[in-house]
A and B are shown apart, each in its own frame.
Chain A
Amino acid sequence: MNRIWAALAILVILFGGSFWGMNEVSRMTTEVTEMLVQVQDTMDSGDTEQSRALIQQVVNTWHGYHHLMSYFIPHERLETVSQTLSTTQSFLKSGTEDEARAECNRALNQLHTLMDTEMPYMNNIL
């Protein structure tokens, strides 16, 4: 009978951990997405300095989240977002705003996909 309690404890830990992981991914990707939308807004308003400062903030925030998420998300998926964010930052630094905007959109899509793939939707399960 001890084994059944151990099995139930394992299930509680697994479900608890999985729900925590899902919520954390959702929280972190939403936060970075909102920051990227702000970067886009500042780019649209022509405030290049502010958008450069904001993208630096996004890169720093993502760096911290990347570390945490790498415990439970395949590293490849996280690295694609990291690469896109660095490219966006480089384009903003070099003043090529159109490319920066395109890369920013790509990062938003990648974040959306990242969050989507971690959710227990039917299409992900089946």
Chain B
Amino acid sequence: MIISLIRTFLLYLVIIFAVRLMGKRQISELQTSELVVTLLISDIASIPMQNTGQPLVSGLVPIFMLVAIEIILSVLMLKSGRFRKVICGRPIVVINDGKIQQNELRRLRMTTEDLFEDLRQNSIVSISDVAYAIVETNGKLSVIKKPGKESVTPDMLQLVVPDTGIETVVISDGVISETSAKLCKKSVAWVEGVLKGKNLTADQVFLMTANTAGDFQIIKKEGKTQ
């Protein structure tokens, strides 16, 4: 039993390392090859975890082999569009200029219910609002609304919106984050200056956010907002 325990811990570490090595793409939307690798890794890892008569190496070798193949494939896909098309396929337009492409739906084995479900998930309630709908290579549906159905943006109204930059959490539970402060182009000294102006110390602050423009919000540990 202790062997299973140790092996589970080791394999956990190995899989974390493997997923980190494969990159951030692996933990968001999965392409075909990524889905295959993820499924295989989880399956392979469980064998030496449960069967102590199986050497741990027999699980590690295929995992690392898959990681290496996945990285090499992703680099090849980056270099060659044709190769990417072979591995991932190509996006398919299912609504073109407001018209449902029935042949493409049939080819994708996608029912109208599936299409409407995906549209609703994209906050579309009527098909007449859609100009184009594309099934991407990762299986997600991208929707482009008809120009008249788009939400009004400040640009459309020719309004000038002040750019406040990025807002970050500069103090979390009394701890000042230098990295977050730098991200919104502020320094620890600036944060401390703001706190001094409010007669506060960092320990008393539950949350402080700040943006590039210099706006900030402080929530004290007691829960009072300033």
Query: Which residues on A are within 8 Å of B, measured CB to CB?
Result: 3-4, 6-8, 10-11, 13-14, 17-18, 70-76
Q: A3-B71, A7-B71 are in contact. Are A72 and B65 (CB under 8 A)?
A: no
Least CB distance, A115 to chain B, in whole angstroms: 17
- Between A7, A13, A14, A75, the greatest number of chain B beta carbons within 10 A of the residue's beta carbon is seen for A7
Query: Which residues on B are within 8 Å of A, measured CB to CB?
Result: 21, 23, 53-55, 57-58, 61, 64-65, 67-68, 71-72, 75
Do the beta carbons of A14 and B64 come within 8 Å of each other?
A: yes
A-side contacts of B61, CB under 8 Å: 14, 17-18
Do the beta carbons of A14 and B55 come within 8 Å of each other?
A: no
Do the beta carbons of B53 and A74 come within 8 Å of each other?
A: yes
Q: In the complex, what distance in Å separates the CA atom of A12 from the CA atom of B23? A: 21
Q: A3-B71, A4-B75, A6-B21 are in contact. Are A14 and B54 (CB under 8 A)?
A: no
How many residue pairs bridge A and B at CB < 8 Å?
A: 45
Interface SS of B by simple majority: helix
Interface SS of A by simple majority: helix
Do the beta carbons of A73 and B55 come within 8 Å of each other?
A: yes
Do the beta carbons of A7 and B54 come within 8 Å of each other?
A: no
Do the beta carbons of A74 and B67 come within 8 Å of each other?
A: no
Q: In the complex, what distance in Å separates the CA atom of A67 from the CA atom of B23? A: 37
Q: Which of B21, B23, B58 is the one whose CB lies under 8 Å from A72?
A: B58
